[in-house]
A and B are shown apart, each in its own frame.
Chain A
Amino acid sequence: MAGAAIEQLIAHLSKLPGLGPRSSRRAVLHLLKRRETLLVPLLKALTVAAEEVKACGRCGNLDTVDPCAICADPERDDTVICVVEEVADLWALERTHAFKGRYHVLGGILSALDGIGPEDLNIAGLVARAREPAVREIILATSATVDGQTTAHYLTDRLAGLERIVSRLAHGVPIGGELDYLDDGTLSTALKARRPF
C-alpha cells in the first residue's frame, strides 16, 4: 500500500509504548502531512537525543550533560537522596515539585522471576554516595509491591552502619480514594500508618 520507507517507519513507530500498527500508521500520515512543522523538528530532536542524551554518571538520570541538571544544580539539598527504580519514577517525583534533594536511579528492582540480582542494580553507586559526609537521609521510593519492598529492605541492610536516616514513602489511602473501593491490604497498611490529626 505505502512505499517501503513509509512501511518501515510505521513498523518502527508501532513498537513504541501506546502505539499499535493502526495508530502508528495515523501518526506517520500526520507527520508526512506536516513535514516542515512536525517531521523535520522531530527528526532533529531525535538526532540530538540519540547523539547527546546519556545516563548521568552520578545518579543515573537521563540528560544531555553529565552530571545531569539535577546533580549539577547548586540549589538542591545535598543532604537527602531519593532512591527510585527507574528514570520514569524520578520524572514523576520531579513533576510534584515536592522534593528538592538529589536522586539515585537503581535501574530496576530485585526480581527472582526475571533473574535480577543486587549485582544488576546500581547499588554500589548508592552506597558510595551515602558515605559522603553531606548526606543525612536516604528516602527509598521503590514501588509498594513485593519486589519493590524486598529491594527496599535489601537497601536498608546495605545502608545499615552508615548512620544515615533511611526512610520510605508512606503507603495508604490515595487522594480522592474512597475506603469502600480500596483493597484490604491498602486499608490495613493505612490503618497501621495512621498518625495524630
Chain B
Amino acid sequence: MEWRDSGIVLAARRHGETSAVVSLLTERHGRHAGLVRGGAGRRARGVYQPGNEVAAHWRARLVDHLGHFTCELVRARAGPLLDQPLPLAALAAACAVVEAALPERHPYPALHAGLLGLLDALADDERWPETYARWELALLGELGFGLDLTVCAASGATENLIYVSPRSGRAVSGEAGARYRDRLLPLPPFVRDGGTAAAGSEEVAAGLKLTGWFLSRHVFADHGGRAPAARDRFVERLGRASGR
C-alpha cells in the first residue's frame, strides 16, 4: 500500500532514539499517522514542526498498518511565527484541536483547506483571530455538530439574532432570548455574517467561547469535555492581550 498526498504536520512523537510517529492532516486521507525514520533527529526535526506543510509519501504492507512516511518540506509555516506569541499560540491550538478532534484516516478536504487558510491568515492577516473562530465553527460543522445561526429557534425570526442556545446550537433572537439571556451564549455578528463585519476583541472572545462550548460538549466529550491545553493557553493569552 502506498499513496502520496499533501499534508500539514499536527504532531510528532519521539519513537526510539531518532524516529518519530508523525501525525499529518492530509488533503485526501484525513488525519493520518506514520513512522518517520530519523524524524526526531537533528536534521529532520525542523520539518516536523506543527503547522509545516509537507509533501507526504506513505507506505505500508497492509492498509491498517501504521506505515512509514517520507516527507519533503513544502512550506515552513511554524518558523516565521516563532517570535510572535499570539499567532504561535493559535497555530499550536489549531494543530492540537485537529489532532484531538478528528478521527484517523477519514478525509476532510474542506478542513484541510480551512487549516491552510488559517495558517495563511496567521502569517499576514490582522484579522486572524476572527478567522480562527470561524475555522473552529467550520470544524464543528464538518464533524456533524454545526450550529444553525440563520433563524431564531424560538420565534423563527431572522433578524437580531444575538444568542445561541447552548443545548440545541441554534440561534435565538434578542426578543425571544431576553428572559433567558443569562443561560444563552452570545452570538457575535462576525460569526453570523460570515466575514463582512470586522470584530473587536470582545466579539472574538465571545466567538471562541461559543465554539469552545460546543467543542467541549460534542467533540471532546471523550476527553472529559476538556479542550487541549494548547487551546486553553491560546484563549487565555488572547484575553490578556486584549486587556480583558
Contacts and interface: CB of A to CB of B under 8 A. Distances in A.
Interface in A96-118: 110, 112-115, 117
Contact of B85 (A17, A113, A156, A183): A156
Interface in B32-79: 45-47, 49-52, 73, 75-79
A171 B88 CA distance: 16
A153 B11 CA distance: 20
A95 to B, nearest CB: 16
22 contacts: A112-B92, A112-B230, A113-B99, A114-B13, A115-B229, A117-B229, A145-B49, A146-B50, A146-B78, A149-B83, A150-B88, A150-B230, A153-B88, A156-B85, A157-B237, A183-B47, A183-B76, A184-B79, A185-B76, A185-B77, A185-B79, A189-B79
A184 to B, nearest CB: 5
Interface residues of A, number: 26
Interface of B: 11, 13, 17, 45-47, 49-52, 73, 75-80, 82-83, 85, 88-89, 91-92, 96, 99, 228-230, 233, 237, 240
Given A153-B85, A171-B82, A188-B80, A146 B91 contact: yes
A189 B46 contact: no
B79 A150 contact: no
Nearest to A183: B76
Nearest to A147: B92
**Main secondary structure on B side of the interface with A:** mixed
Contacts of B46: 144-145, 183, 185-186
A154 interface: yes
B82 A149 contact: yes
B88 to A, nearest CB: 6
Contacts, number: 77
B75 A184 contact: yes
Interface of A: 17-18, 110, 112-115, 117, 144-147, 149-150, 153-154, 156-157, 171, 183-186, 188-189, 192
B45 A145 contact: yes
A159 to B, nearest CB: 13
A184 B5 CA distance: 21
Most buried by B among A114, A153, A154: A153
A144 B91 CA distance: 15
B96 A146 contact: no
Nearest to A116: B229
B139 to A, nearest CB: 17
B145 to A, nearest CB: 22
Nearest to B14: A114
B17 A149 contact: no
B201 to A, nearest CB: 17
Contacts of A147: 92
Contacts of A184: 75-76, 79
